[in-house]
Structure 1
Amino acid sequence: MTAPARTTTQRVADTLHRLEHDVDAWVATASPQGEPCMVPLSFLWDGATLLFSTAPGNPTARNLAVNGRARVGVGPTRDVVLIECAVESLPAAGMAPDVVDAFAAKTGFRPGPKYVYLRMTPLWVQAWREVNELAERELPQPLA
């Protein structure tokens, strides 16, 4: 039996909890030729943006350098958070030490100086568990 649909207020609270406590997400990008790329990456949520890190030469970083947009999926398929993001690429060498420390503490990974950080700002956020939440899946922005 399907649980009753959550209110928007509850879905926002559940989404914020997932962003604060989950460690990994699926990041989807596309090349300039339209070839899709989707990879799992660890992230830090700062209350307004998602921060990821990866090697600058991999397809995700290259795709984002060209088009600056990504779609991020957090959670299992029956409790999904889907986020469309604008992306800014930042060199690891220029990151503030407190941000690097927070990222490492959350993800268990400290990127080297040749890595890039990808700061992703949500443009829209959707969250749903079952079909009864699909009609109201778009969440108000900003989330906090």
Structure 2
Amino acid sequence: MTITGSPRSPERRKQDVLARLEREEDIWVATADADGVPFLVALWFVWDGESLWMSTRITNPTGRNLRDGARTRPALGDTRDVVLIDGDVETFGAQDVPAAASAAFEAKHGWDPVKDSPSYAYFRVRPRAVQALHGVHEMPGRHLMRDGVWVV
């Protein structure tokens, strides 16, 4: 890879991250079970300005891991344009999910999972850390959020 540009400013990186969270439809979701067995799946998501909302069946490994482990590392993009998010997870069943979250999910994706099957749950991921970089030249300054607070 040839690096031809200057690294983006932290402010620009944050703007780019927020724009992607609004625009993108899928996010890679990494979890692990109690034995440390990793799982990686792509899920639809919605960004509400503070948290990611995603949904999957509570009966599959990712759903169980999100519920039981209460932590995840979602990621957008590829290795040349990546956003990594470390987050805390809160699980919501069909009766518990806030109406605004399910409505936003349905508006963006045309589908409300809990209307489809009671085996689906919603998961709110509150970011604790966010990193963003376009290649190795952006490694310095990649940390945009720490301990749930934007540092930019």
TM value normalised by structure 2: 0.88
- Unaligned segments of structure 2, at least 5 residues: none
Aligned 1:1-144 pairs, distance under 5 A: 1-2=2-3, 3-113=5-115, 114=118, 115-140=120-145, 141-142=149-150
Q: Partners in 2 of 1:127 and 1:108 — Cα distance?
A: 29
Q: Partners in 2 of 1:35 and 1:70 — Cα distance?
A: 13
Identity of aligned residues (%): 42
Displacement of 1:143 after TM fit? 7.6
Q: Partners in 1 of 2:16 and 2:151 — Cα distance?
A: 11
Q: Residues 24-82 of structure 1: CA distance to partner in whole angstroms, max 9, x if unpaired?
A: 00000000001000100000000000000111101011112221100000123211100
User: 1:65·1:89 contact (CA, 8 Å) conserved in 2?
Assistant: yes
- Unaligned segments of structure 1, at least 5 residues: none
Q: After the TM superposition, which of the residue ranges 109-118 and 37-46 deviates more from structure 2?
A: 109-118
Q: Residues 89-112 of structure 1: CA distance to partner in whole angstroms, max 9, x if unpaired?
A: 011222233321211111232112
User: 2:80·2:133 contact (CA, 8 Å) conserved in 1?
Assistant: yes
TM value normalised by structure 1: 0.93
